[in-house]
Amino acid sequence: MAESTRDSFPGWHGTTILAVRKGGRVVVAGDGQVTLGQSVIKSSARKVRRLSPGGHDIVAGFAGSTADAFTLLERLEAKLEAASGHLLRACVDLAKDWRTDKFLRNLEAILIVTDGSGLYVVTGAGDVLEPEHDIAAIGSGGNYALAAARALIDSDLDAETIARKAMAIAADICVYTNDRLTVETIGEGGR
C-alpha cells in the first residue's frame, strides 16, 4: 500500500500557543520555533497576531500550517465584518465553513481567538470551544503550557506573567517549542 503525500511528509512542528484571561485582560503568547522533521528551520516565527477587521480589535494565535492559518485568519476577518464584530458568531460561521467547504476542510491549522471578553479555540472539526479555567492552549507544547498556567492561575501573578512562566516551562519540556515569544495583550472590549 502506497503512503499518501500527507503521511510521508515529515510535517511541521514547533508551535505552542497559550491564552490566559485574568484581571480583565487576555494575554496570548506563542513561541517562535518552526521545525521540519528533525531540523529547526526558523526560531522567530510570529504565530500570534492582532487583527482589526472593521475596527474591531482581535488577537489570534495559530498552530499548524502557516499558509492554512493565514487563509483561516482572512476568512475570520471577513466573518467578523459580516457579523458586525460579534466574535462568537464569526467563529461559529468560520467553523461551519471550515468543516463543510471542499477547499477549507483540507486546511491543517487550529486557532485561538479573543476580543478581550470572549476566548475561543476554533478547529476544522467544526468546534468552537470556550476553555475552562480561562486558559486555552494549542500546539505541540500546548498541554505543558496549559498545565503550568493552571497551576499558576490562582496565584497573585497577572495574566502576562502567568503566560510567560507557563511558556518557559513548555519550552523546557517540548523539543518543538522555544523561548522566543510573541505576546499580545487585550482587555475587555478591546485594547
Residues with a catalytic annotation lie at 15
Q: Say if residue 119 is exposed, middle or buried (CB neighbours under 10 Å; 0-12, 13-18, 19+).
A: buried
CA distance 153 to 31: 20
DSSP string computed for 124-140: TTS-EEPPGGGEEEEET
34-36: strand order across its sheet: 12-13, 34-36, 39-42
Cell numbers 503550557 correspond to 145
Residue 70 in contact with residue 109, Cβ under 8 Å? Answer: no
Q: What is the CA radius of gyration of the chain?
A: 16
